Structure formats: structure tokens, C-alpha cells
Amino acid sequence: MTEQQETLVGGWTAFHPLTPEDQKVFDEAMQGFVGVKYQPYEVSTQVVNGTNYRFKCDASMPPADVVWQAIVEIYQPINGQPHVVGITRI
């Protein structure tokens, strides 16, 4: 995929390691979330009227040792706080 395709409005980027800014968006959106613990390790983004994020995460429910993968979808509006729009177990 070329760099131009990766930044095309409406197109998703390939999954890649999180940047500090990606981690900040994830942390803000998940603030106050209780129950399952999500630890993101890769992200894909889509530029729309704001930015959509798909975070690949390891998920667990402490104190159990069971771990599974999930996609946490977050929307970051141009003006406003990021928020979770969906979580899918994979």
C-alpha cells in the first residue's frame, strides 16, 4: 500500500504500533470503563469528520488469567471527547 492510499480520506490505514497520541485517545475514551481490562497493541485509523480508531487489544477480566483479543472502536470528533462506539471479541 502506498503512503497516499494510507492517508486517503475514508480509507483505513494498516494496523501499526500505537503512537503516544493514539494511546492518549484510547485512555481518554476508556476513562471510567470498568470490568474487562483492555491493553491496546496496534491501531488502524480512518479520517472522516474526525477520526475513527480500531485498537487491537489483549483483553482480560482480573483476577482471572484468561486473555482474549478484541477490537475496540473509538470515534474522536474534531471538537469533543473521544468515545467508544463498539467492542468486538476476535
2 pLDDT more than 50 = no
pLDDT at 64 over 90: no
The answer to whether the CB of 42 falls within 8 A of the CB of 18 is yes
Report DSSP state, residue 74.
E
**Per-residue confidence (pLDDT) for residue 5, from 0 to 100:** 42
pLDDT at 6 over 80: no
Backbone angles phi, psi at 8, to 5 degrees: -65, 130
Distance (Å, whole) CA 13 – CA 43: 9
How much of the chain, in percent, has pLDDT values that exceed 90? 78
Sequence spans of domains, the chain: 31-89
State if pTM tops 0.75.
Answer: yes
Average per-residue pLDDT for the chain:
90
